Amino acid sequence: MQRVESGIKGLDEITGGFPQSKSILVTGDAGSGKTIFALQFARSSCLQNKKTFYISSEEDENDLHIQADNFGWDLQVLKKDGFLDFLELSELNAQLTETEINIGVESLKGNFAQIIQEIPSDVEVVVIDSLGSHSTKLTADEFRDRFALLIFELKKRGLTAMIVLESSTSKEFNEMALFTVYGALHLMKRENPYTGRRERVLDIVKMRSTDTPIEFIPYQIGSDGIFIYSYEEI
């Protein structure tokens, strides 16, 4: 199976990269680094000459560029070279809100199919950061069905996808999403029982066709972005 490098130092050595043309779910608490993780993966995909489409619901494109600049990632160059493009879901939601006035809210809430329609035909990698705010109106059953349809459509188009869900706002949906995606990672902050210090750890919840550890994997956010380190290095 072909793989796409995550761009996370130390993670690709563990997983071999993310399976190509499959969907990976990333969940995590506030402040765990989900957007940094998503941006780092998007940048890595571009550097592998894969046209990448970044869909954002939480921050506008300018804010994402500012975050990337803090780590020395010049996304403007990747965009200029045609490897990266952005879509702000807030703009899409504004379009849907205008339409809802005429045809009713119920038919459009959580319209994941509309997201698929916005992805250009030549894109190879998609990052959706995140689905949380786009699914707040859905019931659990509605989310399950529409999320499954989203993953099916991404797979049908042969897209490698990373989908971010916020743990605190979408906790009831996380477990349902796990059954549909090919792989899932959970980012969290916790207190280390041995040092008494707060730390960030990554849980590879599942990754099909991949031999992965069951232990939590410590990671840090440094000047170059997220990187993995082992307990022996602490």
Asked if the model's pLDDT at residue 144 lies above 50, the reply is yes
Look at residue 203 and give its three-state secondary structure: strand
pLDDT digits (tens, 9 = 90+) for 82-99: 999 999 876 655 555 444
Task: Tell whether 222 is covered by a domain.
Answer: no
Task: Tell whether 220 is covered by a domain.
Answer: no
Report how far residue 141's alpha carbon sits from residue 149's, in angstroms, rounded to the nearest whole number: 12
| Least trusted range by pLDDT, from 19-28, 63-72, 224-233 | 224-233
User: What CATH number does residue 181 fall under?
Assistant: 3.40.50.300
Residues 33-62 as b/e (b if ≥16 CB within 10 A, e otherwise) read: bbbbbbbbbbbbbbebebbbbbbbbbeebe
pLDDT band at 105 (very low <50, low <70, confident <90, very high): very low
Task: Tell whether 221 is covered by a domain.
Answer: no
User: What pLDDT does residue 184 have?
Assistant: 97
- Specify the pairing of strand 52-56 against strand 3-4: unpaired
* More confident of the two residues 109 and 24: 24
Look at residue 34 and give its three-state secondary structure: helix
Average of per-residue pLDDT across 14-19: 95
Report how far residue 183's alpha carbon sits from residue 170's, in angstroms, rounded to the nearest whole number: 18
Task: Tell whether 108 is covered by a domain.
Answer: yes
Task: Tell whether 139 is covered by a domain.
Answer: yes
Task: Tell whether 233 is covered by a domain.
Answer: no
Range of the domain at 182: 3-26+43-194+206-214
Task: Tell whether 229 is covered by a domain.
Answer: no
- For the chain, give the mean pLDDT: 87
User: What pLDDT does residue 174 have?
Assistant: 84
Number of domains, the chain: 1
Highest mean pLDDT among 51-55, 138-142, 172-176, 192-196: 51-55
Look at residue 118 and give its three-state secondary structure: coil
Residue 111: count other Cβ atoms within 10 Å of its Cβ.
16
Q: 103: which residues sit within 8 A by CB, 6+ positions away? A: none
Task: Tell whether 56 is covered by a domain.
Answer: yes
